[in-house]
A and B are shown apart, each in its own frame.
Chain A
Amino acid sequence: MYRMMKASLALIFILFLVLSSWAGKQAKELPFPVKQITLKNGLRVILSEDYSMPIVSVAVAYKVGSINEEPGKTGLAHLLQNLMFQGSRNVGQMQHYSFIQKIGGTLNAITTDDKTIFYQTVPSNQLALVLWLESDRMKTLNINPSNVGNIKNQLIEDIQLQTESDPYLINSWEFDRLLFSSFAYSHPVLGTISDISKISTEDVLDFFTTYYSPNNAVLTIVGHIDEHKVIQHVQRYFSTIPMKAAPPPLDLGELPKIESVDLTVENQMASSPGFYLGYQLAPLYTDDHYRLAITEYALLKGRTSRIFKRIFEKDKTAISMSGGIETRNDQSVLKIFVRANNEITNERNQRAVLAEINKFKTDYISDEELYKTKNMFKMNYLRQFATVLDKAIFLTEELLDRGSFNQWMDELNKYLTVSHYDVSRVANIYFKEDKILIKIKTK
């Protein structure tokens, strides 16, 4: 009996060694405990304990997004995201959704330029159910002409509805096309109707085979978990999903600098005139990025930011304003979109926004303003860790973007040590004449 037990333990141990290798270590730099392991098939697994509520968030992310689409096949990544809810070998169509709903959980998915993330939060006693669901669709997704056809129709209808309800959407796509300097970055994640209608079942299958593999994915589990038990569950559901060939490396070449554009377009559907203004910035995680992020907050985040105060409180010339830094893979930009009541105020707003930006170049930001801006930034930064789902998404993105958590050390401090001089310096470097300006006239 003892011998048999010993033998079984040996079997488990050997299987464990064969199937997985520990790359894990405690990443002490993060504000909460994190452990990382890698299964033998290449699936990277992040575990983080949080006992504040008996709930758990699970995120499964594939390193693929619109950036991986070829010309003529835009919308493919987003299409596949939607297809992931159409059933797999043991899970019926839309059953993933109803399984999670019935137990009081929440779920969603998102496709960005370089990631597709599926996530759910459930009571902690239901963790195995989520792993069962996620592993089933990773392993045996139903890709057939009927499912693909349904999703294509649905997505085409969605684009039509979105362009109807948001008359500025087409202008924003044109803005992106000019601001991001290559096809891979600039085309919309939703894709175009003509491209989507031409996507074939084989295209989808190829895309799935290339990118939806354990070795191109990250599984993150955050919440009320027993680490030992979770590892057993993860092994059970994911370790036998076969590894696939590594996706082809993304070669985007040297990104060209934008040429300055000053364009006026007519939009019959828009209710009010407006303008888009954009600049190319330093990429994420560079020293200048930290400086630009603080400058961005001083410029347009919060009710006391420069542009907000100027156009809403002093001049009272704007209806709405949105914008901020947007990053697509290794390209970052600043986008500003302002709407006005009429053409005269639209012109005034353009001048006012440019004047506020230029002030950073010539005058140092005051101590008080910098202090306030950093506290606003800090508050929003900390919100990234407000819920177990927030943490799961943060960890997933961090690992996909940077490959490890080692570089995270003291990250917040890099923003909080930006100086007056830094703000002025980056304003002079990045807010130059080579900008994109699209003016929208209503009639």
Chain B
Amino acid sequence: MRIKPRLGSLHVLFLSFFALFLIQTLPLGSQERFRRSPPLPEPVPELSLPLVETHTLTNGLGIAIVRKQDQPVISMRLIIMAGESVSPDHLPGIATLCARMITKGSMNLRAEEIEEKIESIGGNISVETHPDYTEFIFSFLEEYLEDAMRLLGETLLRPTFPRLEIGNIQRSMFYDLAIQNNNPEFIARRLLYQVLFESHPYRKITFDQGGIKNLSRKDIVSFYSRYYRPNNAKLVLIGNLSLEIASRTASRYLSPWEKREVEPPSVPLLNPRDKMKVCFVDLPHAKDTTIYLGNIIFPITSQDYFPFTVFNQVIGGTPNSRLFMHLRESKAYAYYAFSEMWFFRSCGIFLIRAKVLTEFSYDAIQGILQEINNLRYVPIPSQEIEQAKSYLIGNFPLKMETYDDLSGKLSEIQAFGLGRDHWERYYSNIIHINSGAVSQMGQKYSLHTPVIVIVGNKEIMEYLKEFALVGVYTPDGTLRYEIKKGEK
């Protein structure tokens, strides 16, 4: 009886070496069973987004902070609730020019001194002007919160808009646009927005080179004093700091900022186009064809946001989606084909973008329309829906990782007035979407009557004869003439 265990132990030892021997000398062609198929995932981990704390200063400036301790840096965004849509109709571009001038001179600091002060705290400032709002994105080493806030106060509250600097920024905006005017992607997106927005205030985001030089210092000052008000702004901070410290420091440097009533922007709702429109831009040097195709959808606050997100994923979110598989993998028409959603306060845009071989321009567009119609009328296999949801749920935390990612999301919540739970409930809102809800999105929104912008060289015209009417545009978006089917 006593021997057995010992024998057993020896047996085990022997077996273990035998097992090892077997593993090391598996006959050619055999392998461990676990290598044959991919392992199953573990349960989806919980995602708990950090707590957002808010406070409002007496002058109306809203402050939102998220406390994070893993990086010794602070990411700060100042949001002015005025974007290109509130530029006066005769001055498109003024919101952008005004924003870029804020760091170009103040009562006590010249432009180069401001730059020195930014870099002295390991900092960087960039400016983004959207249709509805403007963001100043400022990151710096955490020990310099006081210096950063002092600098923000100095530049924001006391800008001098020096004429020399205005000229420099105007030239830089002019040349940036001149370079972009050779970029087929830029041209196509701009024309798509121009046609979809028609006379809506959002159209001003597509301002062109011509108008920039007409913008004067007086226009900038007027825009600034009208919209750059604390009660029309929000401040977002991410980093190792408390709401109390953030509010106290902000109050010290931003309290003198004078409150004044700001007229709320008039951004009427936009209806989708109910008739297809085809626009061709002649870009002689283009080797391939760039296609942008899209229509107006709902604003981000709509309940349809989540089912439509799954719809977007199924049709064109990634290289595994239908458009890419059809246009590139199956037919070899395209270099790429993807879909995207863009949101503004009063509407959204759903668009499909593809780069295709010139001779397949017409077939590629038909392929895109076919995929849209399939999603409208043919039930979507539940496996495909589950795959799309799996991508969205898996990818979501990857897009929330950095301080800049988080402050960007927080800024969106502030700018669009989204509920705090908009992103917190992302998982649960996505997980319950079914095939029917996704098909409904295809039927509800006029995706089958889009604006189609085609940018390429004249050879494409040969392949576009099948369309009933094609408008021919210059790269800056001016309509030159129209061609009806059958006309030369």
Residues of A within 8 A of B140 (CB): 379
Contact at A106–B398, with CB atoms within 8 Å?
Answer: yes
Q: Does A264 contact B (CB under 8 A)?
A: no
Residues of A within 8 A of B42 (CB): 125-126, 128
Contact at B41–A126, with CB atoms within 8 Å?
Answer: yes
Choose from B23, B397, B402 the contact partner of A123 (Cβ within 8 Å).
B397
Contact at A90–B37, with CB atoms within 8 Å?
Answer: yes
Interface string of B101-123 (1 = CB under 8 A from A): 00000000000100110011111
A126 to B397, CA, bound (A): 13
Residues of B within 8 A of A140 (CB): 31
Task: Pick the interface stretch among A7-15, A60-68, A188-196, A400-408.
Answer: A7-15
Choose from B13, B16, B71, B387 the contact partner of A382 (Cβ within 8 Å).
B71
A236 to B35, CA, bound (A): 10
Residues of A within 8 A of B392 (CB): 104
A15 to B, closest residue via Cβ? B16
For the complex formed, measure the closest distance between the CB of A120 and the CB atoms of chain B, giving whole angstroms. Answer: 11
Choose from A55, A89, A129 the contact partner of B41 (Cβ within 8 Å).
A129
Choose from B47, B123, B391, B401 the contact partner of A103 (Cβ within 8 Å).
B391
Choose from A15, A129, A376, A388 the contact partner of B19 (Cβ within 8 Å).
A15
Residue with the greatest number of chain A CB neighbours at <10 A, chosen from B19, B34, B68:
B34
Q: Does B394 contact A (CB under 8 A)?
A: yes
Interface string of B37-52 (1 = CB under 8 A from A): 1110111111100000
A121 to B, closest residue via Cβ? B398
Task: Pick the interface stretch among A46-54, A145-153, A246-254, A285-293.
Answer: A46-54
Q: Does A240 contact B (CB under 8 A)?
A: yes
A224 to B, closest residue via Cβ? B45
Task: Pick the interface stretch among A94-102, A324-332, A354-362.
Answer: A94-102
Q: Does B319 contact A (CB under 8 A)?
A: yes
Q: Does A228 contact B (CB under 8 A)?
A: no
Contact A123 to B45, CB < 8 A, known contacts A15-B16, A382-B73: yes
Residues of B within 8 A of A128 (CB): 39, 41-42
Q: Does B396 contact A (CB under 8 A)?
A: yes
Task: Pick the interface stretch among B4-12, B219-227, B244-252, B343-351.
Answer: B4-12
For the complex formed, measure the closest distance between the CB of B403 and the CB atoms of chain A, giving whole angstroms. Answer: 8
A55 to B44, CA, bound (A): 11
A378 to B143, CA, bound (A): 12
Choose from B20, B116, B123, B403 the contact partner of A379 (Cβ within 8 Å).
B123
Residues of A within 8 A of B398 (CB): 53, 55, 104-106, 121, 123
Choose from B15, B44, B72, B395 the contact partner of A125 (Cβ within 8 Å).
B44
A125 to B46, CA, bound (A): 10
Contact at A89–B35, with CB atoms within 8 Å?
Answer: yes
A314 to B95, CA, bound (A): 28
Q: Does B24 contact A (CB under 8 A)?
A: yes
Residues of A within 8 A of B319 (CB): 97-98, 101
Residues of A within 8 A of B37 (CB): 90
A12 to B, closest residue via Cβ? B16
A379 to B75, CA, bound (A): 12
Contact at A89–B31, with CB atoms within 8 Å?
Answer: yes
Q: Does B390 contact A (CB under 8 A)?
A: yes
Q: Does B318 contact A (CB under 8 A)?
A: yes
Q: Does B400 contact A (CB under 8 A)?
A: yes
A32 to B, closest residue via Cβ? B70
Q: Does B181 contact A (CB under 8 A)?
A: no
Contact at B390–A104, with CB atoms within 8 Å?
Answer: yes
Contact at B12–A10, with CB atoms within 8 Å?
Answer: yes
Contact A376 to B119, CB < 8 A, known contacts A54-B47, A123-B394, A385-B71: yes
For the complex formed, measure the closest distance between the CB of A39 and the CB atoms of chain B, giving whole angstroms. Answer: 13
For the complex formed, measure the closest distance between the CB of A32 and the CB atoms of chain B, giving whole angstroms. Answer: 8
Contact A313 to B401, CB < 8 A, known contacts A52-B70, A379-B73: no
B-contacting residues, A122-144, CB 8 Å: 122-126, 128-129, 132-133, 135-136, 139-140
Residues of B within 8 A of A378 (CB): 122, 141
Residues of B within 8 A of A224 (CB): 45
Contact at A102–B9, with CB atoms within 8 Å?
Answer: no
Q: How many A-B residue pairs have CB under 8 A?
A: 151
Q: Does A344 contact B (CB under 8 A)?
A: no
For the complex formed, measure the closest distance between the CB of A6 and the CB atoms of chain B, giving whole angstroms. Answer: 9
Residue with the greatest number of chain B CB neighbours at <10 A, chosen from A125, A313, A371:
A125
Contact at B401–A129, with CB atoms within 8 Å?
Answer: no
Choose from B35, B70, B390, B393 the contact partner of A50 (Cβ within 8 Å).
B70
A121 to B19, CA, bound (A): 34
Q: Does A1 contact B (CB under 8 A)?
A: no
A99 to B, closest residue via Cβ? B38
Choose from B23, B72, B115, B401 the contact partner of A52 (Cβ within 8 Å).
B401
Residues of B within 8 A of A237 (CB): 34
Contact at B119–A372, with CB atoms within 8 Å?
Answer: yes
Contact A379 to B122, CB < 8 A, known contacts A3-B8, A104-B393: yes
B50 to A, closest residue via Cβ? A52
Contact at B44–A104, with CB atoms within 8 Å?
Answer: no
Choose from A90, A125, A236 the contact partner of B45 (Cβ within 8 Å).
A125
Residues of B within 8 A of A3 (CB): 5, 8
Residues of B within 8 A of A98 (CB): 319-320
Contact at B320–A236, with CB atoms within 8 Å?
Answer: no
Choose from B35, B71, B401 the contact partner of A388 (Cβ within 8 Å).
B401
A302 to B71, CA, bound (A): 21
Residues of B within 8 A of A388 (CB): 401
For the complex formed, measure the closest distance between the CB of B119 and the CB atoms of chain A, giving whole angstroms. Answer: 5
A378 to B19, CA, bound (A): 52
Residues of B within 8 A of A133 (CB): 38
Contact at B120–A372, with CB atoms within 8 Å?
Answer: yes
Contact at B141–A375, with CB atoms within 8 Å?
Answer: yes
A126 to B40, CA, bound (A): 8
Contact at A303–B119, with CB atoms within 8 Å?
Answer: yes
Residues of A within 8 A of B36 (CB): 90
Residues of A within 8 A of B318 (CB): 101
Contact at A371–B402, with CB atoms within 8 Å?
Answer: no
Residues of A within 8 A of B71 (CB): 382, 385-386
Residues of B within 8 A of A97 (CB): 319
Contact A90 to B35, CB < 8 A, known contacts A105-B398, A382-B71: yes
Residues of A within 8 A of B487 (CB): none
Contact A102 to B391, CB < 8 A, known contacts A15-B16, A89-B31, A124-B45: yes
Contact at A7–B9, with CB atoms within 8 Å?
Answer: yes
Contact at B401–A123, with CB atoms within 8 Å?
Answer: no
Contact at B401–A387, with CB atoms within 8 Å?
Answer: yes
Contact at A136–B35, with CB atoms within 8 Å?
Answer: yes
A245 to B401, CA, bound (A): 40
A280 to B486, CA, bound (A): 67
Q: Does A167 contact B (CB under 8 A)?
A: no
Q: Does B32 contact A (CB under 8 A)?
A: yes
Contact at A104–B395, with CB atoms within 8 Å?
Answer: yes
A97 to B120, CA, bound (A): 42
Contact A376 to B122, CB < 8 A, known contacts A102-B390, A106-B398: yes
A390 to B122, CA, bound (A): 19
Binding site for B on A (CB under 8 A): 3, 7, 10-11, 14-15, 18, 50, 52-55, 89-90, 97-99, 101-106, 121-126, 128-129, 132-133, 135-136, 139-140, 224, 236-237, 240, 242, 302-304, 309, 313, 368, 371-372, 375-376, 378-379, 382, 385-388
Chosen A-B contacts, 11 in total, with CB atoms closer than 8 Å, are A90-B36, A98-B320, A128-B39, A132-B34, A132-B38, A224-B45, A372-B120, A375-B121, A385-B71, A386-B403, A388-B401
The 9 closest A-B pairs by CB, nearest first: A104-B394, A104-B395, A379-B122, A54-B45, A375-B122, A125-B42, A128-B39, A372-B120, A123-B394
Task: List 15 extra interface pairs beyond A54-B397, A123-B41, A375-B121, CB under 8 A.
Answer: A3-B5, A15-B16, A53-B400, A90-B35, A99-B38, A101-B320, A104-B392, A122-B394, A123-B393, A126-B41, A133-B38, A224-B45, A372-B120, A378-B141, A382-B73
Binding site for A on B (CB under 8 A): 5, 8-9, 12-13, 15-16, 19-20, 23-24, 31-32, 34-39, 41-47, 68, 70-73, 112, 115-116, 119-124, 139-141, 318-320, 387, 390-398, 400-403
